[in-house]
Amino acid sequence: MQAENPENKWLSLIPSISDYGFIADCHSAALVSRWGSIDWCCMPRLDSESCFGRLLGWEEGGYCVLAPSVEYETTRHYLEKTLIIETIFRTEGGDARLLDFFPMRAGGKHRPYRQIIRIIEGIRGRVPVAARIVPRFDYGAIKPWIRFINGQCAAMGGDAAFLISADFPLKLDRRHEVSGDLEIGRGERARLSLLFRRPEDLEEGLVEPPDATEIDRRFEETVKWWHRWSEKGKSLSGPYAEPVRRSAMVLKGLSNAPTGAIAAAATTSLPEAPGGNRNWDYRYSWVRDSCFSVRSLAELGYTAEAERFRHFIERSAAGSADELQILFGLGGERRLREYEIAELPGYRGSRPVRVGNAATGQRQLDVYGELLELSWNWHRMGHSPDDDYWEFLEELVNHAVRLWREPDHGIWEVRGAPRHFVQSKAMCWVAVDRGIRLAESTSRRSPLEIWKKAHAEIRCTVEKEGYDSRRGVFVRAFDTRDMDASLLLLPLFGFVDHNDGRMVRTVGAIREDLEEEGLLRRYPPGQDSLEGREGMFLACTFWLAECLARQGRLDEAHRVFQRALSTGNDLCLFPEEFDPRSEMMLGNFPQGLTHLSLIAAAVAITEEESKKERMRPTGGRYEDCH
């Protein structure tokens, strides 16, 4: 396949997914390579058209580089408790550090602009540095007109514009690019600002570039903002505390401040199979993933996100279960028409590049259970649904009661004929179960007799049709004996106890059929019509670790967790999938579902170990110390 691809000459230049770091401001997001290049950025929203998109088109997409102009080596990390990346450049003549971030401030959701700030500082000796800014709007389709307006460098194209400013000289290259050269010495600091605005703001002189003092102030303010947010959460002890903290920040970065929506990932079309067509746009808010995100953040004490997402779903669905989709745009948009950008070659030649997601029209029955579970947990924390929201929840339960016998496309959004997936049926049971609990707990008048009848019928059907009596395990769907890693979620929602013999055997069968080199697939290969062999699904591996921990198999849980943890990069960021053969990250990045599953597994392991530590041998048996 590569021999036929005219873009092959660029393959050696394109970084691996693991070479990227993630910065965000709860509006926009960007990926920064370890070599100081911003190769992906969408503004003003994370699901907007890209303004730097070299990730998906090396020549066409645009980028922003700030790095030494001589040979160098790098190391990098996030500044503690922040989403600020510090990259250390080491050259023969000196060292420098680069700080990359979106500025944050209290009330920042009302700012009329988005901004990336890049600060480079000398550490040792002197380092020659080159800057090159190549904006390309609308996924590379627009080469902006760049000119100086009132002494300011403005890049304008379509309805997008950058105000590019620096405290070192900038010059225009061929009217579509900006460059600059400087030398940085120990203790010296240089700054580059990219302000995203509308063209008319720049033409009318409504925007002033921030000076050095203001940029330094925004850096300090951003550090304090992230520290304040981090400290709102519960501190998790143990060896997994730092990955959990980092994952929580990733989820926060994937959120949208004005609406409360949470994106599934920061990118589109990073392939699940190199050279194949498993390339999807994940920059939207999936009801399922967002409910999982809220659960993970709430476990860490970030309960405000749960309330804001609840309002987002209620608004987006217009308060009606009939209007509920499985995913929405970050502003609540419904029309997410999927189309392909033929002009972009895709990441390392993996076509097509897709924008939008056709799964928005699918039926996925599990969303009813996830929303009811979210509301039930929120109620248990003292936040009962008001009358309007209860009406919405009641409609969701009635939909689950009416539709649970129907096939659907399932949690994995299979692009083919719908099937009777066991996980979907079980989540319909969860919707009815939590609806009954909420109605009884809040003394709501509801069709409880109908609900309780459906509650029993769903369980009976799943335990009969979704169970392989020969192996003694739950199965993927009613028409197959295959396994599916989503079955690991059954005990999480209380459909079956973790230590029920059927669940213990199911865990064993999943590992036997789907595990490879310590990681899990979603389901057996060949279950869909898409090209390529997809990688190991990291969220499923973390689900396995969580399930093993809840079964008291802590040594196994640690091994599985650490194996999944080993697939992250040096910044503790995770993709959707991983290929253990090539040790390559696959799929969109960073992937929210992976990070939230990491949190849930770490919490489970920590809690179960705490329970174990509270037990001590006394009089020949174990007793609780309390």
Burial class (CB in 10 A: 0-12, 13-18, 19+), 88: middle
The two structure tokens encoding residue 598: 């990491």
Report the distance separating Cα 38 and Cα 57, nearest Å. 13
CA dihedral (603, 605, 606, 607) positive or negative: positive
Q: Which tokens sit at 210?
A: 């921030």
pLDDT attached to residue 378 = 87
Q: How many CB atoms lie within 10 A of CB 425?
A: 28
Q: What are the pLDDT digits (tens) for 305-354?
A: 878 887 888 788 767 888 889 999 999 999 999 999 999 999 999 999 99
503 phi, psi to nearest 5 deg: -75, -40
Question: Which residues have a Cβ under 8 Å from the Cβ of 131 and sit 6 or more positions away?
Answer: 64, 65, 66, 166, 168, 170, 178, 179, 180, 181, 182, 192
Question: What is the set of domains in the chain, with CATH numbers?
Answer: 2-201 (2.70.98.10)
* pTM of the predicted protein model: 0.94
Mean pLDDT of 365-394: 92
The mean pLDDT of the chain is: 92
The yes-or-no verdict on residue 1 having pLDDT over 50 is no
24, two tokens:
């965000």
**φ, ψ for residue 289, nearest 5 deg:** -60, -40
Rounded Cα gap, residues 130 and 595, in angstroms: 35
Identify the residue whose tokens are 């209007």: 323
> Tokens 């960073």, residue?
590
- Span 155-184, pLDDT tens digits: 999 999 999 999 999 999 877 899 999 999
Place of tokens 């969408």: 42
Helix H or strand E segment including 511 = helix 501-514
Neighbours of 406 (CB within 10 A): 13
Helix (H, G, I), strand (E, B) or coil at 591: strand
Spatial separation of the C-alpha atoms in residues 20 and 573, rounded to whole Å: 9
Peptide bond into 525 cis (omega under 30): no
Can you tell me the distance from the alpha carbon of 62 to that of 155, in angstroms, rounded to the nearest whole number?
A: 13
User: Quick one: tokens of 570?
Assistant: 């040096």
Strand-pair partners of 603: none
pLDDT band at 531 (very low <50, low <70, confident <90, very high): low
- Give me the pLDDT at residue 116, please: 98
φ, ψ of residue 187 to 5 degrees: the values are: 85, -5
Provide the pLDDT for residue 2: 33
Cis link prior to 112 (omega < 30° from 0)?
Answer: no
pLDDT digits 0-9 by tens, 118-127: 999 999 999 9
Count of Cβ atoms closer than 10 Å to residue 573 Cβ: 24
Nearest residue to 291 (alpha-carbon basis) of 387, 362, 366: 366
Average pLDDT over residues 125-147: 96
Confidence at residue 533, expressed as pLDDT on a 0 to 100 scale:
77
Q: What is the pLDDT of residues 481-520, one digit of tens each?
A: 999 999 999 999 999 999 999 999 999 999 999 999 999 9
- Take residue 399 and report the two structure tokens written for it: 């939909």
